[in-house]
Amino acid sequence: MIVHAGSINRHHVHMLVAIRPDLSVSRAVKHLKGRSSHKLLDEFGIMRKRYWGQHLWARGYCVNSRGNVTDEVWIDYIKNKTPPEPDDNFEVTSVR
Active site residues: 77
* Distance of alpha carbon 73 from alpha carbon 18, whole angstroms: 15
The residues, any chain, with a CB within 8 Å of residue 61's CB and separated by 6 or more, are 29
| DSSP symbol at 71 | H
Residue 7 bridge partners (DSSP):
14
